[in-house]
A and B are shown apart, each in its own frame.
Chain A
Amino acid sequence: MIHLDNDSIVLRLKQGDQSCLEDLVVAYKGYCVNGLKKKTRCQNEEAEDLFIDALLELRDKVLSGKLDHLINAKSYIFGICYNKWLSAQRVKNKMNSIDAENYYQQYLKDDMLFESDDVDYKMQLLNITNKALETIGEKCYKIIKYFYLEKKSMEDIAEIMGFASSDVAKTSKSRCFKKLVEKTKELEKQ
């Protein structure tokens, strides 16, 4: 039985430690999936899907700074699972169909800047960005991931990537992101 203490969960997620999510799967899958099945009478597959989405939401909350302290991780994760199930019921949207497109819509849905934008165009941009990401190289992809997704500081990025200083990391990040945006625009024109 894996024991996960609450503060180390937050710390590991903040550090972008993916193995923490794997440990959470092993430690809390039984509790959350059984609990959901009992409480909502949903099927195994749906419960498992909700559980994994709940873990991803937990990670997002930690990375965005909305959650920096956990007292009871197990109950908290189950709470997210159950809320996700309720939301799915409300919008009659089966959560087991969630994929990159759904996540993309979720990330953009509350953004005021996107109110009047064309949904089809945004979805097209998702595919284009994926293609562009494949062209910028592993190093650039890592820098972008560390900065925009994992929200690491330039000091941390410099250390991980072996740059001489945070200024070098900053310049590399700017260059890589510019390269990605330009490549995306280029693919869009094709």
Chain B
Amino acid sequence: MQEETHRALIDKYLTDSLTESEKDSFDLLLKDPEFKEAVLYEKRVVAAIKASANAKLKAHLKGISSNTPITENSNTNYIKKLWLSAASVLIIASIGYFFYTSNQPISNQFEEFYELYPAVTIQRGEGDEVNKALQLYSEEKYQEAANELTSLASADQPTYYLYLGNCYLQLGQSQNAIAAFETLIEVSNDSILTQHSQWYLALAYLQSNEPESLKALLHKIIDQQGMYTELASKLLNKID
């Protein structure tokens, strides 16, 4: 019986499914060197199985990938030409613009740096409420989307705070946006979601002309060396 209980605990440990109370019992058992040795060994074996399976799967997916052409954006060449022809005009204009912007509030930089978090247009399989909220978001009906998202966003579904905050940014309601992104940072334990929320929080500070909070957050983003580091450095240079 005891052996069966131990086996069940080890299996749960190996599949990352121990509950908090089971974890306590498991930690106590680990004090027994024999038990610990058995667990150590099995953990390595399972890791080895996973690693081998991953390597095989990767080789298979690379085969699929090698037969999948990389589609280029058809507008790329056109856009390049457009940029080249516009470059000379931009250079001249930017000289004058520099003198103009040096006396402007920092929120003037918002439009340059803000890019809406991408909308999802088709959400088959989602609940009706979710469908409606994201549909409204993709249709740029931000006030109505915000009303829907307010009831959807929660610690269990933190991603909706990202959409909600973006709705508020679109509506120019910076303080509401700040609250949404701050909540997201607090409840999210996903590093990617946290990075998105930090960047959008910075943009909310930018929109509401809060240079001190903005600079502190930009320094934090830069120090983390994450996906928004480059943009954060660029923005910091602009407002410093």
**Chain A interfacial positions (CB closer than 8 Å to B):** 3, 5-8, 11, 18, 21-22, 25-26, 29-30, 33-34, 44, 48-49, 51-53, 55-56, 64-67, 69, 71-72, 74-76, 79-80, 82-83, 86, 90, 98-101, 103-104, 107-108, 111, 113-114, 117, 122, 125-126, 128-130, 133, 144-145, 147-149, 151, 174, 177, 180-181, 184-185
A75 to B196, CA, bound (A): 11
A–B pairs, 10, beta carbons within 8 Å = A26-B64, A30-B72, A49-B62, A53-B58, A69-B157, A74-B118, A79-B227, A129-B52, A181-B41, A185-B41
Determine the chain B residues whose CB is within 8 A of the CB of A66 once the complex forms.
190
Determine the chain B residues whose CB is within 8 A of the CB of A8 once the complex forms.
124-125
Size bracket, chain B contacts: 35 or more
Chain A nearest CB: distance from B41 CB in Å? 7
Residue of A nearest to B76 (CB): A34
A65 to B163, CA, bound (A): 23
Whether A126 contacts B70 by the Cβ 8 Å rule is no
Whether A80 contacts B16 by the Cβ 8 Å rule is no
Q: Do A56 and B62 form a contact, CB below 8 Å, given A79-B227, A113-B36?
A: no
Residue of B nearest to A128 (CB): B48
A149 to B157, CA, bound (A): 26
Whether A21 contacts B61 by the Cβ 8 Å rule is yes
A113 to B225, CA, bound (A): 29
Whether B45 contacts A181 by the Cβ 8 Å rule is yes
Query: Scoring B residues 34 to 75 as 1 if CB is less than 8 Å from chain A, else 0, what string do you get?
Result: 001001111111111111111101101110110011111100
Whether B225 contacts A52 by the Cβ 8 Å rule is no
- Interface check B191, CB cutoff 8 A: yes
Cβ-defined partner of B68 (8 Å) among A18, A25, A49, A67: A25
Residue of B nearest to A3 (CB): B122
Cβ-defined partner of B43 (8 Å) among A21, A65, A113: A113
Determine the chain A residues whose CB is within 8 A of the CB of B134 once the complex forms.
71
- Interface check B192, CB cutoff 8 A: yes
Determine the chain A residues whose CB is within 8 A of the CB of B58 once the complex forms.
52-53, 56, 98
Whether B50 contacts A149 by the Cβ 8 Å rule is yes
A75 to B118, CA, bound (A): 8
Residue of A nearest to B16 (CB): A64
Q: A52-B65, A145-B49, A151-B17 are in contact. List 4 more A-B contacts (CB 8 A).
A: A30-B71, A86-B229, A103-B50, A103-B51
Interface residues of A: mostly helix, strand, loop or mixed? helix
- Interface check B89, CB cutoff 8 A: no
A117 to B41, CA, bound (A): 11
- Interface check B187, CB cutoff 8 A: no
A67 to B117, CA, bound (A): 20
Chain A nearest CB: distance from B148 CB in Å? 14
Determine the chain A residues whose CB is within 8 A of the CB of B51 once the complex forms.
100-101, 103-104, 107, 126
A108 to B169, CA, bound (A): 42
Q: Do A52 and B62 form a contact, CB below 8 Å, given A30-B71, A75-B118, A86-B226?
A: yes
Whether A34 contacts B17 by the Cβ 8 Å rule is no
Mark out the residues of chain B between 8 and 30 whose CB falls within 8 Å of any chain A CB in the assembled complex.
11, 14-17, 30
Determine the chain B residues whose CB is within 8 A of the CB of A145 once the complex forms.
49, 53
Q: Which of B17, B45, B53, B134 has the most CB of A within 10 A?
A: B45
